Each structure stands twice: as C-alpha cells, then as structure tokens.
Structure 1
Amino acid sequence: MFTLFHHPFCPHSRFIRLIIGEYGLDLKLVEERPWERREAFLALNPAATTPVLVVEGQPPIPGAGVIAEYIDEVHGAEMGAKRLMPTTTAERIEVRRLMAWFNEKFFEEASHPLVTERIYKRFMSEENGGGPPSPDVMRAAKSNVRYHLAYIGWLEQTRNFLTGDRLTYADLAAAAHLSAIDYLGDVPWSEDAAAKAWYARVKSRPSFRPLLSEWLAGVPASRTYVDLDF
C-alpha cells in the first residue's frame, strides 16, 4: 500500500495519482495543505511541497519526478507493454524531456499560478500569501497556456501519443497539469483540435476517473471538465 500526501488540485500530485492508477497499485490519499507547513509534513519533506509518497520500509519519497522514477524502478519491468517509461535510451530521454517540460516549465508558467491564484489563495492566510487573485498573474498564465497547448498539438501531428506510439509518463504529466486548470475553465480547447483530441483520449482512461470526480466547494467545475466528449 502506498500513501500519498497530496493536494487534490496540485498538478504534480495528480501526475502521480495517474501513474499509480495506470499500474493498478493500492493507494491511500492524505490531503495536505503545504502552505500550512505542518511539522509532521515537514518531517517527511522539508521543502514543504506535494506530493510525497510513503512506502513501508523506505524513506519518504518527495517530488513528482523522484516518485515517478521510483515507481518505474520498482514496478515498471513487471508491467510489460503497459510500462510507462520506455526501455531504450533515446525514448527515455524524450519522455524525461517532456516530463520536465510540463512538471517544470508548464508548471511555472501556467498551472501553478492559475491554481494558486484561483484555488490555494482561497484557503491561505494573509501571512501565507492568501487574498484575492491577481488579475495580472492570471492574465499572463492564461496567455502561456495557449503556446503550451499549441506545442502539444504540434507533437500530436506526428505522434500517436506525445512521445510516440504508446502512453508514457509524458502524457500523464501533461494531462495532469491540464486537468487542474481545465477544472477552472482556463484551457482554450477550441484553439487546437489535435491537442483537444489527444486530451480527450487520455481523459477517457480509467485512471482519470478519480480526478474527474473531485469537486471544490465554492468553485464549480467548468463545462468541459467531466465531459468526455467536450
């Protein structure tokens, strides 16, 4: 049994949940508000960021990238054709490149500011950065979403999935970040048909169902969030 300290709208946490869902592993979820900096959580991850995976007999495993690599090392080979990390060096480089693109670049430029401004700040105290959302920050982040969406569409014109013919960590990372801001209605799906078609396929997978069932009181989901035929 894995225990994942997460926040429901943390894109990195969603990425790990999708991986675990694809592999059919048992998972216990513990919701964490990292800005509260609980002492018990800081003991697991002094950086006070989600997600953190706890596995019996192992030290706490912090961070989406480290967790993803751990799961591949421990469970990847046994998954055979369903393994989410390719076996050849060149393919693994491309998967890791796109994982970094979404978990770092997309996160910094789009998903993190939008989720922070529209969700996290609702629950944060003023001393922790809470308060009304910043229109300037949201405007810039929404603009950034557009070119990331166009990049996904460009990849999809030559590939079945983002890195090739099958689903990998790269697809799940991209879909996790998009799902968090799709809940808010901040993805302009009408601007790129290829990206939209790719996301619809990934979103229809069973591993996505737990994410689509989550709702935030006071912040209704967008029309496209749960619609598989959006």
Structure 2
Amino acid sequence: MWQLFQFPLCPFSRKVRLMLTEKGVPFELVRESPWERRDEFVDLNPAGRTPVMVESDRGIVLIDSRAICDYFEETVDAVPMIPGPATDRAEIRRLVAWLDEQLYADVVGPLLEERMRKRLVKREAPDTKVLREAMRACNAHLDYLDYLLDHRRWLAGPLLTLADLAAAAHLSVADYLGGVDWRGHKQTVDWYGVMKSRPSFRPLLAERMEVITPPAHYDKVDF
C-alpha cells in the first residue's frame, strides 16, 4: 500500500489526499514533522519537505505534490482530475500553480510560520503585522475566486478538478489558522461549503494539530 508522509496542516499533502480519495486510491498516512529533519525522511527527500509518497513493495518514491498528482492522474483512470482538451487542462494547471505558489506565498505560508512554526518549534510570539498582511492578501485572493465562480460552476470550468482540490486544501489550512475572513465572499463560501461536504474532505476537517485549535466554524459545512 502507498504511504503518504505528511503532517495535518501541510496544504500540499491535503491536496494529494483529496485527489487520492476522490480517485479511490488506498493509502496510509505517516505523520512527519519536516522541521525535525529526521534522517530517514531526508533520505527519502533531500529537500526535507512534505508530501512524499512511498510504495515500498515496488520501490517507488514520489516527491512534490504536483508530481504526485500528475503520477496518479496518468496511472489511475478513475475520476480524472485534469480532464478535457489541452486548453482545459492548461487552465487547470495554471490555477493549481497560482494556488500552490501565489496563495501559499501570500497567505498560507506566512500563517503557518506565524501561528504554527513559531508556536511549536521556535517558541516565539507571532508577528501581528505579518498576520494582518496575510489576512489582507487572503481577501484579495478570495475576490479572484469569487470572480471565477461568477463565471464558472467550478474554479476551472463545468467539472470538479484538481484546481478545486488545491484551492480547498490551501484555504482549509488558512481557515484552521484563523486567517480567512469569509464575509462578503458568498460565491466562494457556497463553493467551499460544497467542498467541505464531500466525503473526501471530511477526514481533513476532523484532524487537529497539537496545541493549535481551529475556529468554531472550521469543520461546519454551514458556516
């Protein structure tokens, strides 16, 4: 069986988990705290980052969430997550890149640093200026998601795709860390409520990171 090395608030691991579950691929979660730089984990991935997927029986090691998702899209026919003609697939990949790079850099990464790493690893207080900037940036990103959802049923078009899974993965971490002000974003709230109600998403919402408690609305579909 596949093993997924991850930790509860890794948005890239969440994206992979959502895709695997939607496609019906069985896997086992292995808790990994990458900041500890455990020798056995660094041997798997010298970059020391999650997620990493391992299939020991076949000697397969997959590194990087986009590479992992591409692998399973190419090898598992069920429930395509990058479907359609080349132009549609290009739009899905564009959105996934924007979410994994820009949304993460502007919002999710700073929130993880200030509200998780500083608390669990560095034993430092968060920088409130950084938190305010991340929340302001999150509002701008939600504006763009609202725009997309004004014109499309799902983020990339008429079908659920990897773009929706990536967005939900990142926003769920930001929301867990109290960094999302959902007010004034009805289109995105409605879309995210649907995402939260999917069976693939419920296990993510049930998980908790030690010491850090999410807002009361975090796991509620009607929020």
Q: Normalized against structure 1, the TM-score is what? A: 0.93
Aligned to 1:161: 154
Pairing partner for 1:113 from 107, 110, 113? 110
Q: Report the CA distance between 1:24 and its aligned residue.
A: 1.7
Greater Cα offset, 33-42 or 213-222: 213-222
Partner Cα distance (1:102, 1:38) in 2? 28
1:26 aligns with 2:19: no
Letter in 2 for 1:203: K
Pairing partner for 1:104 from 89, 101, 105? 101
**Where do 1:67-78 residues align within 5 Å?**
67-75=68-76, 78=77
Aligned to 1:65: 66
8 Å Cα contact 2:6-2:32 kept in structure 1: yes
Aligned to 1:9: 9
Partner Cα distance (2:71, 2:40) in 1? 23
Secondary structure of the residue that 2:30 maps to in structure 1? Answer: strand
Secondary structure of the residue that 1:206 maps to in structure 2? Answer: coil
Secondary structure of the residue that 1:163 maps to in structure 2? Answer: coil
1:94 aligns with 2:95: no
Q: Report the CA distance between 1:51 and its aligned residue.
A: 0.5
Q: Report the CA distance between 1:206 and its aligned residue.
A: 0.3
Secondary structure of the residue that 1:226 maps to in structure 2? Answer: coil
Secondary structure of the residue that 1:5 maps to in structure 2? Answer: strand
Q: Normalized against structure 2, the TM-score is what? A: 0.95
8 Å Cα contact 1:85-1:169 kept in structure 2: yes
Secondary structure of the residue that 1:30 maps to in structure 2? Answer: strand
Aligned to 2:184: 191
Identity %: 41
8 Å Cα contact 1:185-1:223 kept in structure 2: no
Pairing partner for 2:215 from 210, 218, 222? 222
Let me know the Cα RMSD of the aligned residues.
1.2
Secondary structure of the residue that 2:28 maps to in structure 1? Answer: strand
Q: Would you identify which runs of 4 or more consecutive aligned residues in structure 1 move more than 4 Å?
A: none
Letter in 1 for 2:72: I
Q: Report the CA distance between 1:58 and its aligned residue.
A: 4.3
The size of the alignment, in residue pairs, is 222
Letter in 2 for 1:88: P
Aligned to 1:45: 45
Letter in 2 for 1:24: G
Query: Structure 1: which 5+ runs fail to align?
Result: none
**Where do 1:145-184 residues align within 5 Å?**
145-184=138-177
Aligned to 2:198: 205
